[in-house]
Structure 1
Amino acid sequence: MLRSRWSVLLLRVALVVAALWLLVLMAMSLPGELRDEAPAFRVPAQVVLTLVLASVLVVIVCIWRLLTLVQRDRLFSDASRRWVDAIVWALAIGWSLLAAGALTVTTVIFLTPEIRDPGIPMALFGVVVLSSLPMLLMIVMRGLLRQATGYRAELDEVI
């Protein structure tokens, strides 16, 4: 149990650091990076990137709530499934926005002869594919949680 407490504590510290980093990124870094761009590009890019980062913040909050359920030994409950569902939805929304933004940038690059270069579209493709992995992993984990919750309920009936 001691190891579990330390793991939960360290994970909570990492979640706080990650959340603070994302907030600084959204408030200071993104506007600064995009300030020299044309307003037609800057505003949609700012909105999309802010929403993607906000979805990651939602995931952080959900993980925090799941850690609370772990500490209370209530992980195998309907409440935990709701938080995992929220994680899946937040990741799906963030991924969809990221994919749409990457597709838009790729389309602009390929339709503009002066900037046609396969490097950025290939990098964006890699980011979109790699960013789908946490969402797919959470879908699998949600199924495992549902199954484990059923087993826990059966075990509680037997005992």
Structure 2
Amino acid sequence: MLRSPWIVLLLRVALALAAAWLIVILLLSLPGELADEALWFRIGAQAVLSLVIVAVLAVIVCIWRLLTLVQRDRIFSDEAHRWVDAIVWALAIGWALLAAGALVVVAVVFLTPELRDPGIPMALFGPVVLSLLPLLLMLVMRGLLQQASGYRAELDEVI
């Protein structure tokens, strides 16, 4: 189905590097960065950010499985639909956690007179909106996969 197996190989390498980077951040960098913060903030931020990273790792696993289906020319199967649905759910959960965490930070900033600064809410607005884009794109792609699967089934019946 794919004209070049190099594309799949390069994507797998990129996915492996991204997963390794996220695991290093999850296990080493994030706890160290939050060590000097107040306990309530450290626990909340560690929980939210860790769950967001786990959601992204789940997306990486799902994409890896979809690449396997592409290589086997089974991308229009029910199995592919399940993996795409898993990606949508992982992205939705990760986005909801990120948005909720940002909302809590913004609330703390605005309710604490010493911290009241529009820079932090504006800085959080960008990542929240930008992280919504992959979710919305995946919903469109899921619809396209369903439509293409229907066309493929019709074509198989004709042949």
Fold shared per TM-score above 0.5 = yes
Could you tell me which runs of 5 or more consecutive residues in structure 1 were left unpaired when the two chains were aligned. Answer: none
1:32 corresponding residue in structure 2: 32
Paired residue type of 1:81: H
Per-residue deviation, 1:2:
7.7
1:130 corresponding residue in structure 2: 130
TM-score w.r.t. length of structure 2: 0.98
Q: Tell me the secondary structure at the aligned position of residue 36 of structure 1.
A: coil
Change (3 A) 1:2 1:135: closer
Q: Distance in 2 between matches of 1:2 and 1:63?
A: 16
Q: Distance in 1 between matches of 2:147 and 2:112?
A: 51
Q: Tell me the secondary structure at the aligned position of residue 76 of structure 1.
A: coil
User: Between Structure 1 and Structure 2, how many residues are aligned?
Assistant: 159
Per-residue deviation, 1:4:
2.4
Segments ≥4 residues shifted beyond 2 Å? 1-4
2:57 corresponding residue in structure 1: 57
Per-residue deviation, 1:146:
0.2
Asked if 1:22 corresponds to 2:41, the answer is: no
Q: Which one has the bigger helix percentage?
A: 1
Q: Distance in 1 between matches of 2:3 and 2:80?
A: 22
Q: Distance in 2 between matches of 1:115 and 1:63?
A: 41
Q: How does 1:4-19 map to 2 (within 5 A)?
A: 4-19=4-19
Change (3 A) 1:137 1:2: closer
Q: Tell me the secondary structure at the aligned position of residue 22 of structure 2.
A: helix
**Contact in 1 for aligned 2:2/2:70 (Cα 8 Å):** no
2:78 corresponding residue in structure 1: 78
Could you tell me which runs of 5 or more consecutive residues in structure 2 were left unpaired when the two chains were aligned. Answer: none
Q: Percentage identity across aligned positions?
A: 77
**Contact in 1 for aligned 2:2/2:71 (Cα 8 Å):** no
Query: Aligned Cα RMSD in Å?
Result: 1.0
Q: Distance in 2 between matches of 1:3 and 1:77?
A: 20
1:100 corresponding residue in structure 2: 100
1:144 corresponding residue in structure 2: 144
